[in-house]
Structure 1
Amino acid sequence: MTAPRPSSPATRGGATRNELKRAARRLFAERGIAAVGMREVVEAAGQRNAAAVHYYFGSKDDLLRELLIDGADLIEARRKELIDAAERKGAAMTLRDLVDAIVLPNVELRGETGEEETYFRFIVNVQNERRELFRDTVPEHSDSYRRYVEHVRRLLAPLPVVLANQRVLFAGLAMQTLVAAREAALDRSDNRDHHFWSRPDALTGIIDAMEAILRNPATA
């Protein structure tokens, strides 16, 4: 589960609020967190009031938290659906089912403020620059993620738990790199159509790579 939403006045100005969020997330994704000032967010959103971010969100940290939670809620809801579906298969559950449940929510992301355009690069930058804020806002071990790890350990047995955990970490880092590269390429292309990343086999390749990292036999 994610942390509660910030206490800033969330009911204020829906359209303007969304414009600010979309502009801020793009700037944070493309330039990093520390390099972006709130006046730049206001200008990028086409607003005249220099205090607009403070009015709608409170502080810069409050804005970051809300942006994190927006996407995290979407990802968690879809991941839970896929983990639930995998668990309903019982003994027929496969490692592929679990990898699908981790990858697909990140690449199928859709939201009211264009989360699919910049969210993954945004969270990578928050993790790199504001790790404590990220952990406080979006606990990395949500319910669906814990279930994913438990099932992976079980399916990789008799691989020792410490090695299974290592595989989960490495697979997650690989996904982070690949999904961020995919997002950036689609964002730069016209109509989100890219000669490589728009192809179905590119998405299959991400899933294949993660599964291979998890499944590869341990070196003696």
Structure 2
Amino acid sequence: MTDDHSPRGGDTREKIKQAARRLFAERGIDAVSIRDITKAAGQKNAGSVNYYFRSKEALIGELIADVAAIVEVERNRRVDAMEAAGGPHDMREVLAVLIDLSPLEDEVAPIGEDAIRFMKRVMASHSELLFEAIHFDLDTATRRCVAHLRRLMPAMPPVVVGLRIRLAMLLAFAGLSSREAAVVSPDLWPAGWTAPVADANLIDALEGLLTQPPSAEAINLTE
């Protein structure tokens, strides 16, 4: 087996990553086996993936981190611009940054055109891998947005605020990741699911979730 630190070893790692990202984007995370990745990467040794990445999960984690590092640069640029203009002026401004993936297509092109599709697949079926793979340094823009959302939310018990924020993130993940399924099987989804109105509707739903006053029951259960 080629040394991972040799030029040839680096090439092999990159071939495996490119093949895996493409397959995951096309088929989904669970439908792709290590054998599929090995074959698509042109590797004869069935143990190549485990040799270079230890496991399928570790490979997925590295792919997520690759994309997240590039996405993070663009997201932070948007937050910087928003703050430089005296914002955010309202919650919708922050939510628009969090859900807008389309302008990132050009940004991720250097690591493959399937990168956003891959990330949506992870969001849809394995969001836990996303949370595990994106470490502190790769999540600064999201944390900045969450801090703004907390400031803009109406007064609620801290535990309710935390629950609402996590629910909002999960709803955003579900909404964005489902776009891929809607493109593949449009007849199974409502009209407009992949149209621009879907983004505005998703922001409406997220804003409503974050601003709806908690019920008396919810408040009593926090005491």
TM-score (structure 1 length as normaliser): 0.73
Q: Which residue of 1 aligns with 2:181?
A: 184
Give the deviation of 1:95 after TM superposition.
0.6
Q: Which residue of 2 aligns with 1:74?
A: 70
- Which of 21, 27, 30 is the matching residue for 2:28? 30
For the aligned residue pairs, the C-alpha RMSD in angstroms reads 3.3
| Letter paired with 1:154 | R
| Letter paired with 2:125 | N
**Structure 2: 5+ residue stretches without partners:** 217-223
Give the deviation of 1:99 after TM superposition.
0.3
Deviations 1:95-149 (A, max 9, x none): 11110111114x5443332112232222443445xx5xx5543137822222222
Distance 1:15 1:155, change over 3 A: closer
| Letter paired with 1:25 | F
Q: Which residue of 1 aligns with 2:219?
A: none
Q: Distance in 2 between matches of 1:104 and 1:167?
A: 20
What's the secondary structure of 1:11's corresponding residue? helix
Q: Which residue of 1 aligns with 2:139?
A: 142
Residue pairs, 1:1-220, within 5 angstroms? 9=5, 11-12=10-11, 16-17=15-16, 19-26=18-25, 30-32=28-30, 36-43=32-39, 45=40, 47=42, 49-51=44-46, 52-54=48-50, 57=53, 59-90=55-86, 93-105=89-101, 107-110=102-105, 111=108, 112-113=111-112, 114-128=114-128, 134-139=130-135, 142-187=139-184, 196-220=192-216
Deviations 1:9-61 (A, max 9, x none): 5731587345423344237x6252xx643112223x26252444356645434
Distance 1:127 1:199, change over 3 A: closer
TM-score (structure 2 length as normaliser): 0.72
| Letter paired with 1:26 | A
**Structure 1: 5+ residue stretches without partners:** 1-7
Distance 1:59 1:165, change over 3 A: closer
Which structure's CA Rg is the greater one? 2
What's the secondary structure of 2:172's corresponding residue? helix
The number of equivalent residue pairs is 201
| Letter paired with 1:12 | D
Q: Would the aligned equivalents of 2:25 and 2:115 in 1 still touch at CA under 8 Å?
A: no
